[in-house]
Amino acid sequence: MSGTTQHAELALYDYSPYERRPKIEWPNGARLAFWVAPNIEFYELDPPLNPHRKPWPHPYPPVPGYSIRDYGNRVGHHRQMAVLDKYGVRGSISLSAALCEHHPEIIALCAERNWEFFSHGIYNTRYTYGLNEDQEREMIEDAMVTIERAVGQRPAGYLAPALSHSNHTIDLFAEAGGLYTCDLFHDDQPTWVKTRSGKPFVSIPYSLELNDTIAYVVQKMEPRRYGEIIRRAFDQLYEEGAESGTVMCIPTHNYQVSCPHRLRAFEEALEYITGHSDVWVTTGREIAEYSLTHLKDQIGGHSEALA
Amino acid sequence: MSDELLVYSRRDYGMDHDRYEWSMLQDRPPIAWPDGKPLALWINLSLQHFPLSGDKPRVAPPGALTMPYPDLRHYTLRDYGNRVGIYRLLKLMEQYQASPSLAISGALAERYPQLLERLAKTPFEWLGHGWNMLSMHAGEIDLQIEAEWIHNTRVALEAFTDQPIGGWLSPGRIQSTHTPELLVKNGFRYHCDWVNDELPYIFRTGEGDMTCLPSSLELDDVFVLTQNLHSEDSFAQQVMDAADLLIKEGREHGGRLLSLNFHPWLVGQPHRIRTVREILQALLVERGDAIWHTSPSHIIEAAQA
Percent of chain B exceeding pLDDT 70 equals: 99
pTM here is 0.96
* Stretch (H or E) spanning A213: helix A212-213
Q: Are B1 and A132 a contacting pair at CB < 8 A?
A: yes
Nearest to B173 by CA among B20, B279, B46: B46
Mean pLDDT of chain B: 97
Could you give the CA distance from residue B160 to residue A136 in angstroms, rounded to a whole number?
A: 60
Beta bridge partners of A116: A92
Residue B284: predicted pLDDT: 98
Could you give the CA distance from residue A21 to residue A240 in angstroms, rounded to a whole number?
A: 12
The answer to whether B204 and B178 have CB atoms below 8 angstroms apart is: no
Question: Does any CB of chain B come closer than 8 Å to the CB of residue A137?
Answer: no
Question: Cβ contacts of residue B26 below 8 Å, gap of 6+?
Answer: A78, B253
Q: Are A59 and B59 a contacting pair at CB < 8 A?
A: yes
Question: Cβ contacts of residue A90 below 8 Å, gap of 6+?
Answer: A84, A113, A114, A115, A116, A281, A282, A283
Which candidate from B5, B174, B242 shows the least CB-CB separation from A63? B174
How is domain B34-303 classified at the CATH fold level?
TIM Barrel (3.20.20)
Question: Does any CB of chain B come closer than 8 Å to the CB of residue A74?
Answer: yes
Q: Are B8 and A123 a contacting pair at CB < 8 A?
A: yes
How is domain A36-46+53-204+276-294 classified at the CATH fold level?
TIM Barrel (3.20.20)
Residue A9: predicted pLDDT: 85
The answer to whether A204 and A247 have CB atoms below 8 angstroms apart is: yes
ipTM of this complex prediction, to 2 decimal places: 0.97
Which candidate from B8, B58, B227 shows the least CB-CB separation from A59? B58
List CB contacts (< 8 A) between A76 and chain B: none
For residue range B236-294, list pLDDT tens digits in order. 999 999 999 999 999 999 999 999 999 999 999 999 999 999 999 999 999 999 999 99
Task: Measure Cα distances from B302 to B5, B120, B128 in Å.
Answer: 45, 25, 22
Whether B45 shows a pLDDT value over 70: the answer reads: yes
For residue range A213-259, list pLDDT tens digits in order. 999 999 999 999 999 999 999 999 999 999 999 999 999 999 999 99
Percent of chain A exceeding pLDDT 70 equals: 96
Q: Are A64 and B24 a contacting pair at CB < 8 A?
A: no
Residue B2: predicted pLDDT: 67
Q: Are B228 and A220 a contacting pair at CB < 8 A?
A: yes
Question: Does any CB of chain B come closer than 8 Å to the CB of residue A50?
Answer: yes
Which of A127, A257, A261 is best to mutate for the B interface (most B CBs within 10 A)? A261
Could you give the CA distance from residue A4 to residue B304 in angstroms, rounded to a whole number?
A: 58
Question: Which of the four pLDDT bands, split at 50, 70 and 90, describes residue A8?
Answer: confident
For residue range B191-241, list pLDDT tens digits in order. 999 999 999 999 999 999 999 999 999 999 999 999 999 999 999 999 999
> Which residue intervals of chain B are DSSP H helices?
72-80, 86-95, 106-111, 113-120, 143-158, 179-185, 221, 232-253, 264-267, 273-280, 296-303
Whether A297 shows a pLDDT value over 60: the answer reads: yes
Question: Cβ contacts of residue B123 below 8 Å, gap of 6+?
Answer: B99
Taking chain B, what is the end-to-end CA distance rounded to the nearest angstrom?
52
Question: Which of the four pLDDT bands, split at 50, 70 and 90, describes residue A307?
Answer: very low
Which candidate from B1, B11, B15 shows the least CB-CB separation from A131? B1
> Which residue intervals of B206-283 are DSSP H helices?
221, 232-253, 264-267, 273-280
